[in-house]
Chains A and B, each alone.
Chain A
Amino acid sequence: MNKLLPVLLIILAAALIAAATIHSSSLVPATTPEGAVRALLNQVKARDAVGAYQYVATASNTAPDDFKRDVFGQESNLRTYSSLQLFDTKVLREDDQEASVRANLEWASAVGAVRDTRDLKVVREDNSWKVIWPVQSRPKVPPQVIPVNYLRWDIVTRGLDDDWGAQNVDAPRVRIISMNPVEKDGDFILLGEIENEDTVPGFVSVAATLIGKDGQVIAQEESFDKISHVLLPKEISPFRIDFPNVSRDRIKSVHMQPNAMLVPASADPVMGVMHQALNKDARGHSVLKGELMNQSGQTVNIPHVLATFYDSAGKVIWVSDGYVDQSLAPMTPVAFSIGVRDDLASQIHSYRVTVNQYTRDRVQ
């Protein structure tokens, strides 16, 4: 007992440690198409670009640096602020040499959770499965001078002693020009548009309070990031306010509260929206696709696309948004795609796309 006990305790501890520690090495060659995708994504999750690249097929024609930039980001784009949090995979099609695997990805990013679906082609190479990971090479823009002659509004304050929040000027005149309450999946949603009717720029937001049939406040929410906060004179922005788990039956009235404040602003950077069209994605869902073009001389790090959808009567029937994970280099088109409600796709008569932006070295 005296000698046996310590040996038993050591063996038990070693077994327990082994049970929690020993896993199959994640860098072994993949024996199944799904295994290859999972191995690659596991390495991406662990932020190991070299490990992940081992599962990229040579047929991809993707250089390691391009792959790293695509997965982990560059130029302070959204991907540089993101890390892969969760994923699940599903084999769509498979034969001896080739397969197609769908990966649903959830990225933790600086703007919240970003979900993405990729249909990946997987091929057999050197007796193991590898993933085709094409990276769209960015066109090289020739050196050029871009004159900046956009309008800019500055504000002169009385002096340093002024408290920053105290403005002794009238707020810009803004007006909600349309509003449409809808109900979807148990949520109550307010859609609409707000216009800056003034001749100065305004920093706007829209808040809404739902009043119940008993006269009590049911919920208060605001447009948050589903609006363009900086509105230049005469500019219009869509807005959307979501009230999760609120039934329309409970609501007696809605109190809308548009807020505006005079701020310095610039029309720069100007971003063009091109080739926009309603389409279906790989899963058969409706999406609005298009391209963004930064017509200024500075890189926009994170673009945010807001789309307003109208019916044939010109009424706003839906507002959707999406963050683009690529930065907008000057004069370089970047594709975007944002979801549209499938049940509304047939009613959409027209749409309008506006673009918000975050530029790291110039925050408005």
Chain B
Amino acid sequence: MRKVGTPLMSKPRLTAPSRSIPLFVILLVTLAVHGPLLLMQLPSNSYDANTHMFFAGHYANHWFSPWNEKWFGGMSQTTYPPLVHQWIALFSHVFGLTGGYMFVQLIVILLLPVGMYRYALLWVPEREASYAALGTAFLGSLAMLVYQSGQLPTTAAAALTLNALPFFYSWTRDGSMLSLLKGVVISMAGAAAHHVTFLFGAVLFALPVLWLSLLDREESEQKSSSGAMLVRAVMFGIVVVASVVVVLLPYFVSLRQNPITQLPIPHGSRDNYILSPHSGMNFWIIPMGSLILAIPYILFKGSAERRLRPLLFGWYVTTLLGLGGTTPIGRLLLGRAYEVLTYERFTFWATLMALPFVGLLAARVIDRWARRGAVLLGVAAAFSCAMAVSWVVFNPINTGTLNLKPMIDFLNREEHSKYRYITLGFSNQFAKLSTYAKAGSLDGDYNSARLLPEMTTYGAAQLYNSKYFGTAGMEALRAVLKHADQYGLRYIFVHDRYYEPLLAFAGWRPTEVYDNGATELWTKDDVPPAKHIDFGNAVPPPWQGVMWGLVPIGASLLAILVVLLPDRRRYSETLEFPLPETNELPLREAN
């Protein structure tokens, strides 16, 4: 006997959301996942974070002077797009350099789901797009880039690229000038954040979107000719390239004057991941995380639905590139650039491209298994993120942290900053030391900025890691040590005894110890004070300094402004009729 008032339906199940997740909820979840990790300053031990803080530290003190004498005996900061560094520099006056870095990284991480939501809406319905956006917070590849690689500019450029793509789509389909403006300005900001992402990532992302807009043309009422759409796409490309050339003009001038001619430098992401399992774990398994389980779905769903095929091909090519030396495709497609690029970013882009598919899969899982499905997805997502963060913790890139304070104090004491120094065995701690030391170094952490022939002649990266580059590394170190007198190189901080024999035979003497002997200072007493090294036209003229200080940051401010401009209001909306069917009819008992 049924009680009065009991619904006809069986007991209602606790269901998982069958509507899209609001964007602010997604942002809150993202903040909850990454906020504490950034508050703990986890990225400060990553590979590149200290390098970016070094660049930012220079802008904080010399906004309009891109010539930095602290690395390589002198280098131009116009060799690296400045946007992210300049934002860190601005916030460093509030939060300090490290705090500024974390704050900008947080903003970038929050921009990613917004961009993903907008990007995924091109491919999938709103609900699925919201799942895709939520997925960005848990991406293993994102966690690896942020907490292990410290590639803030790459993540920033990817977030901006994702945000620009819907405007590119809209412009190619509808010819909306406002979309063109927004798309171009956001792309400019993206290129000002990271040029490589712009050059390679934008193409990998944009071509499938262009293909999609051509496919959608056939199904829409308002038909533009495909020729017109292609012309618009080319126009977009030309305007973006022209704008980027203006925004990064000093970068291109520097590249033209000093083309990157250095020999290839080894990187684990170019390994064959099967033959080098550790590289495979680090650069593919961990970044992909639970997304590996979705690969069959991506292949079959992308093949089955014509509209998703461009995304499938884009994802497929990007994934193959992300496999580094595991396939020959990177070498074939990229040629000489293959040896210059690193491939963890391609895997990151591949995971971003996979997310719209994952949104579809998530919706299907939730529809089928409701709460259990949602829990399963949540566990898989959390697993991806947690594995990446724990991998970074349990496989630290540094075997131990160095107490840099006494060395910084030494270099800033008395007249020691009149001489130059290098470090050996310091790993990425070198960048941190150089950020706070007044003295200049002959070493540096950004290969493309090197001008000294002793360093560009050999296929080795940083001097502090010379031994890892075999003969090339040690010969580069020998070449620099041979010219110690010319360059005023007087101090060498040694944290790896491997380098002692060379220093001993080359005329250096240990003079001080730090950290109970863990680090030794070696000196060469007859070295004269460092003189300014004449790099000729590599030093940017003042107009470039002004341009570098105003235009890239201006592009980002302009991007914020134009995004706030309202889109063209639709005065008439087409309503679907009849109303779409819902899975559950609202049944009520008659009173």
Contacts and interface: CB of A to CB of B under 8 A. Distances in A.
Contacts of A165: 511, 523, 525
B39 to A, nearest CB: 40
Interface string A1-43: 1111110011001001101110000000000000000000000
A222 interface: yes
B474 A110 contact: yes
Contact of B512 (A164, A225, A364): A164
Interface stretch (B116-124, B163-171, B334-342, B479-487): B479-487
Interface in A250-272: 259, 261, 263
B492 interface: no
Given A363-B510, A364-B509, A112 B478 contact: yes
A358 B497 CA distance: 12
B326 A358 contact: no
B560 interface: no
A146 interface: no
A58 interface: no
A81 interface: yes
B14 interface: no
A220 B483 CA distance: 8
Nearest to B505: A225
B526 A358 contact: no
B404 interface: no
Interface string B502-537: 101111011110000000000111100000000000
Interface in A274-329: 301-302, 304
A207 interface: yes
B482 A203 contact: no
B526 to A, nearest CB: 4
B274 interface: yes
Given A16-B327, A17-B326, A364-B509, A6 B303 contact: yes
A62 interface: no
Interface of B: 272, 274-275, 296, 299-300, 302-304, 309, 312, 316, 320, 323, 325-329, 414, 467, 470-471, 473-475, 478, 481-486, 497-502, 504-507, 509-512, 523-526
Contacts of A13: 316, 320, 327
Contact of A81 (B275, B296, B304, B501): B501
Contact of A21 (B275, B478, B482): B275
Given A1-B303, A110-B499, A163-B414, A17 B474 contact: no
B568 to A, nearest CB: 37
A259 B526 contact: yes
Given A111-B501, A205-B526, A302-B501, A220 B486 contact: yes
Contacts of B473: 108
Which one of B275, B296, B485 has the highest number of Cβ atoms from chain A below 10 Å of its Cβ?
A: B485
Interface string A220-242: 11111101010000000000000
A220 B274 contact: no
Interface of A: 1-6, 9-10, 13, 16-17, 19-21, 78, 81, 83, 85-86, 106, 108-113, 163-165, 203, 205, 207, 220-225, 227, 229, 259, 261, 263, 301-302, 304, 356, 358, 360, 363-364
Given A19-B328, A108-B474, A364 B486 contact: no
8 contacts: A108-B470, A113-B471, A205-B524, A220-B483, A222-B485, A259-B525, A261-B526, A364-B504
A113 B502 CA distance: 11
Contacts of B323: 17
Given A17-B274, A17-B326, A224-B481, A6 B504 contact: no
Given A205-B526, A261-B526, A110 B467 contact: yes
A61 B506 CA distance: 39
Contacts of B511: 164-165
A21 B498 contact: no
B507 A229 contact: yes
Given A111-B501, A111-B505, A225-B506, A2 B303 contact: yes
A263 B524 CA distance: 12
B327 A19 contact: yes
Which one of B272, B300, B505 has the highest number of Cβ atoms from chain A below 10 Å of its Cβ?
A: B505
A86 to B, nearest CB: 8
B525 A363 contact: no
Contact of A5 (B303, B467, B482): B303
B581 to A, nearest CB: 25
B303 A358 contact: no
Contacts of A261: 525-526
Given A205-B526, A261-B525, A108 B327 contact: no
B500 A358 contact: yes
A358 B501 contact: yes
Contacts of B485: 207, 220, 222
B412 to A, nearest CB: 14
Contacts of A360: 497, 500
B320 A16 contact: yes
Contact of B501 (A2, A110, A207): A110
6 closest A-B pairs by beta carbon, nearest first, are A259-B526, A6-B299, A5-B303, A16-B327, A108-B470, A225-B505
A356 B475 CA distance: 21
Contacts of A220: 483, 485-486
B470 A83 contact: yes
Contacts of A83: 470
Given A110-B467, A112-B478, A224-B507, 16 more contacts: A1-B303, A4-B303, A10-B299, A16-B327, A111-B502, A112-B502, A165-B511, A165-B525, A203-B509, A205-B524, A207-B485, A220-B485, A220-B486, A224-B481, A356-B505, A358-B504
A78 B501 contact: yes
A318 B365 CA distance: 80
Nearest to B498: A110
Contact of B471 (A19, A20, A85, A358): A85
A37 B300 CA distance: 49
A363 B500 contact: yes
Contacts of B499: 110
Nearest to A18: B327
Contacts of A356: 505
B327 A20 contact: yes
B475 A9 contact: no
A277 B274 CA distance: 52
A16 B329 contact: yes
A174 to B, nearest CB: 12
Contacts of A81: 498, 501
Which one of B326, B485, B501 has the highest number of Cβ atoms from chain A below 10 Å of its Cβ?
A: B501
Contacts of A207: 485, 526
